[in-house]
Amino acid sequence: MQTALSERCLWLQTSTEEPFQYPSLGHHEEATVCVVGGGITGLSTALHLAEKGIKTTLLEAGDIPSGGSGRNVGLVNAGLWIPPDDIVAALGAEKGERANTVLGGAPAKVFETIERYGIQCDPTREGTLHLGHNAKGGQELERRRDQLQNRGAPVTLLTGDACEQITGTAKIKAALLDKRAGTLNPCAYTRGLARAAHNLGATLYCQSGVTGIERQGDRWRVLTHNGSVTADKVVIATNAYTEDAWNQVRKHFFIGHYYQLASEPLSGDAADAILPERQGAWDTRTVLSSIRRDKEGRLLLGSLGKGEGKPLSYLSCWADTIQNHYFPALGKVRWDYTWTGKIAFTPDHTLRLFEPAPGILAATGYNGRGVTTGTVVGEGFAHYIASGDDSLLPLPISQPKQIKARPLWRCAYESGFALYHAGQCLRVLI
């Protein structure tokens, strides 16, 4: 039995969708579309192309999943991280409301996909909770509620006893319940997408990192160390895990991180009172945090920042501080798992959908909303490739400007996260 905190991803350990050993590419192959990246976006693209009978080959540098698609919090959230009026301010009225509408319906797309393909990913459809951690946070939730309700979203602002009952803590005075949303095991969801795409005829290769893309007549040749794929179209779905110099996607985001800790399975009255309806929760803190439970009753705490490389004792101290602040009745909790994933951030907190070159599509900048955004972007890419119509995408295909000073953005964010967490451990910030 595990008795001490170790760096392992809970979702990979508890996924009821079994891993499948997809082969590596060791030859040349022809396809109509080559998808680069085996996360949620790439697999959703491959799945929806396969549904249309379009010959698709997907290349993944690691296993499925190996990036953020299997390491995120597992929140099936609607919309983007910023509220809808801010999206309109950033993108303009037409594009902003399009993003609000498409991404507002994204959780339904996720749950429809789960049901259609029988994906065993422990989904819940009880909504998510946006927690106001102080009075200013409560005012922010009122602003979001009004904006969302003006667009017909089924959201309710809970306060007083109703808030304490649904969250399990007296420290939160207001919580915005969004009934469109829910939770899942992201590793299992990603594996389920791969299984469905494979069963419909998409060809999936793992351990087949792309080393370059070159023009070959009116087609594209995608190169790996031991093989290649020639295709009419290419979809680059590497998002926050874009590292190679050939990949222009890396110029359109800066990397952030998100770490999580999971406890031992918890039971008893004190544990049962925490998120009793199993909503996933995230808060209004300057450095966002999350709280949720898994199917076996574990408590999961997470926050923006990089956990990898930090002492396990430091991470345990942080988790103990947060748990004791919100849920002191639990007493001492044993933390068993910790892991970190990457996030693709953009300065305006909105995504990028673009064509680096004719016949190549790319997406990035999900800003922590990968489960839902990746699912609908994949469907939208497939529809666009098949018909030339980009209306299913949250935004039209464009040519966004590259982000300047990306290393400075990354350093500023990570330094701020680290200082904030240190303040929490010292109980200066709670």
Residue 419 pLDDT greater than 90, yes or no? no
Average pLDDT rounded to a whole number, residues 165-190: 98
Residue 88 pLDDT greater than 90, yes or no? yes
* 37 conformational bin, left if phi > 0, alpha if psi -120 to 50, beta if neither: left
**CB-CB contact of 238 with 65 (8 Å):** no
Does a structural domain hold residue 279?
Answer: no
Does a structural domain hold residue 334?
Answer: no
Average pLDDT rounded to a whole number, residues 146-168: 98
pLDDT of residue 3: 53
CATH number at residue 112: 3.50.50.60
Domain count within the chain: 1
Does a structural domain hold residue 350?
Answer: yes
CA distance 85 to 89: 6
pLDDT of residue 225: 96
CA distance 368 to 355: 22
Take residue 359 and report the two structure tokens written for it.
């016949």
Span 348-403, pLDDT tens digits: 999 999 999 999 999 999 999 999 999 999 999 999 999 999 999 999 999 888 88
pLDDT band for position 2 (cuts 50, 70, 90): very low
Average pLDDT rounded to a whole number, residues 229-243: 95
CA distance 335 to 258: 17
Average pLDDT rounded to a whole number, residues 55-62: 98
Does a structural domain hold residue 115?
Answer: yes
Does a structural domain hold residue 328?
Answer: no
pLDDT band for position 99 (cuts 50, 70, 90): very high
pLDDT of residue 368: 93
CA distance 123 to 109: 13
pLDDT band for position 430 (cuts 50, 70, 90): low
- Omega before 394 cis (within 30°)? no
Question: Percent of the chain scored above 70 by pLDDT?
Answer: 98
With a CB cutoff of 8 Å and minimum separation 6, the contacts of 237 are 35, 36, 37, 39, 41, 42, 45, 362, 363, 374, 378
Does a structural domain hold residue 336?
Answer: no
Does a structural domain hold residue 281?
Answer: no
Average pLDDT rounded to a whole number, residues 99-118: 98
Average pLDDT rounded to a whole number, residues 222-246: 95
pLDDT band for position 177 (cuts 50, 70, 90): very high
pLDDT of residue 1: 39
pLDDT band for position 222 (cuts 50, 70, 90): very high
Q: Which range of residues forms the domain containing residue 17?
A: 8-126+183-253+346-399
Average pLDDT rounded to a whole number, residues 262-270: 97
User: What's the whole-model pTM score?
Assistant: 0.96
Residue 337 pLDDT greater than 90, yes or no? yes
Average pLDDT rounded to a whole number, residues 142-163: 98
Question: Percent of the chain scored above 90 by pLDDT?
Answer: 88
pLDDT of residue 428: 60
Q: Identify the residue whose tokens are 């969250």.
A: 167
Mean of pLDDT over the chain: 95
Does a structural domain hold residue 102?
Answer: yes
pLDDT of residue 407: 81
Residue 425 pLDDT greater than 90, yes or no? no
Residue 226 pLDDT greater than 80, yes or no? yes
